[in-house]
Chains A and B, each alone.
Chain A
Amino acid sequence: MTTISYIDAINAAMQEELQRDENVFVLGEDVGVKGGVFGTTKGLMEQFGEERALDTPLAESAIAGVAIGAAMVGMRPIAEMQYSDFMLPATNQIISEAAKIRYRSNNDWQCPIVIRAPFGGGIFGGLYHSQCPESIFFGTPGLKIVAPSTPYDAKGLLLAAIRDEDPVLYFEHKKCYRSVTGEVPDEDYIVPIGKADVKREGDDITVITYGLTVHFALQAAEELAKEGIEAHIVDLRTLQPLDKEAILESVRRTGKVLILHEDNKTGGVGAEVSAIISEELLFELDAPIARLCGYDVPAMPISPPLEKFYMLNKDKVMEAMRKLALF
């Protein structure tokens, strides 16, 4: 085990896969010479050459589309979208193409691409450098979607995504890049897509979340433990397909559930989690299913007091958890 940052875990996963499999390559804006605007692809061009850490023209639909074409003939492209906000020009390639290639060809063709996109706020990025776009893609069968919260999951899920036979959207939280560190194994491993993870055990309330807010929940849980409230914290890790079993099991354990995410509330992943629970476990609930999410505004503003108002944090999460525990 070695302790590294979330961003280094992402970088290491790519570095190792480029090494292991000659069909893996990375493409995107500024991923080559510069090593990415956040540094996620640092060193890859130096080690593997220009073609395998490919600087592309400024055109996201082409980045996705070229990756899809390459994947159909046997490659394992990792397409980087500079910010998840800028994947929208590629929506048609992602939803109409990547998601449907296997299905429309009756399994004759496959599309094993990974699309990495930094998402989330709290970095003074303003409206177009802070968004959580997962709800746009979440309703599309054929896609897999992951969103790790720790270096271990970040590396393991990226390795799994690259080796997966289907298109995977990999949402990496910008705020976690350098603020979150953790242990990762020295040997090869993967985190299986479709499996949630219990990040903390507890019997009083269940918190179901993913991404940056996992950390707020964990911090809040530590404080609440002093008040005698023990929270059970489930990190979804994979958003599509959801780990239904893990969700239901965690709810059975406490009977009280708070769903937490940074993406705005209406139409978010939390709605589906809630719907699954009330479809399957309604009579085991001891409290209404609560959601604490981003406000329903188009995107978070850059002005510091507004960004702070929009973003969740330990205190806001703790308040919601306490309220649920006391219900």
Chain B
Amino acid sequence: MDYTLREMMTLVAAREIRNEDIVFCGTGISMLAAMAAKNIHAPKCVMFFETGAIDAKLEEIPLAVADSRVMYHTSANGGLLDAFATMQNRITGDLVIGILGAAQIDKFGNLNSTVIGDYFSPTTRFSGSGGGCDVASFVSRSIIFMQHEKRKFVQKLDYMTSPGHLDGPDGRAKAGLSAGGPQLVITNMAMMRFDEDTKEMYLDGCYPGISPATVLEHMQFTVDISRAREIPPPAAHELKILREKCDPQRLIL
């Protein structure tokens, strides 16, 4: 069955979401991944936006986390203070899995979504942290979406917007952050996890037809590929639900 890489990425992420998760969603495929999980295997998982919307009934795809579509049929319509407190508070925060994206990532899962070039005279300016830095600081588990390109998997970030494992195993603890950090990087080629001991990224699996060597060619730094497996392609029922129930208008896919 034909599928796009964007569909693959969405479904790979969806598979990581459990029934017991509160899913912090951004715009785009991150919310689509949560919608897919909810419709496929985790009906009880709770979608949650930094704008303060909890457990919205998404009859249509929101085009921003402040889209009025996230306000419909929610458990509560609060504000930013409520949303971030829910993540910073360990009682509820430990239930949250964050989904993030960025312009650059390093081997410890630190993210840049602020600038390319010098911070004080950037060649490219991006939107900035938004809630990204907050989520990355607070939640114990997160999934990162990336395009697999050499300029994006970098030796050194031009600006560290959101903390991953910082400089390694003790990075978060030394800085004063709570335990946890990124778990998973999902790209248009592969899926990476972080080694339990070194907190460095390693290749967990490649998409069908993509070799570990190809993956490495698209990164500035090398990662362990010894644990790589082939990731199963989307199943027909997954694709059907994603296409027909989650994004029938193809607004994101």
Please indicate whether A and B come from the same complex rather than being unrelated chains. Answer: no
